[in-house]
Amino acid sequence: MPLVRINLAQTASPEVVQAISNVVYDAMIDVVKVPEHDKFQIITRHAPDELIYPAEGYLGVTYTPGIVFIQVTWNTGRTIEMKKAFYRAVADGIHAKTGIRKEDVWINLVEVNREDWSFGNGDMHYAPK
């Protein structure tokens, strides 16, 4: 755990994709204490008509075609403070490493139970004891 899905414009260079991937992974390790080597990510590039967002903005945030959607599925139990710190670390890190506007870093967290994971072989790796 976790599983990270990153969706961004098809024009994103391999270097930008790698930087975003690394920033998210580093924030998971440093901020929310995910185990090292627990890096499972699905990165998808999209045509301009496949990334939909409100052109007029939402909640005071405006977006550009450079928007990056990041969805992280992880175990339930992290504090609000940890989540806030994670959001900030990801947005700040992506901006610093790629120049992507912080406003264009859109993040969603999905929380699941520990037993909701199988890492292969059809095993429930976090089975209740």
Show which residues are catalytic. 2
Q: Provide the residue type at 95 as one letter.
A: H
User: For residue 74, what are the contacts with CB-CB under 8 A and spacing of at least 6?
Assistant: 1, 2, 3, 32, 34, 109, 110, 111, 112
Q: Which amino acid is at 122?
A: G
CA 92 to chain centre: 13
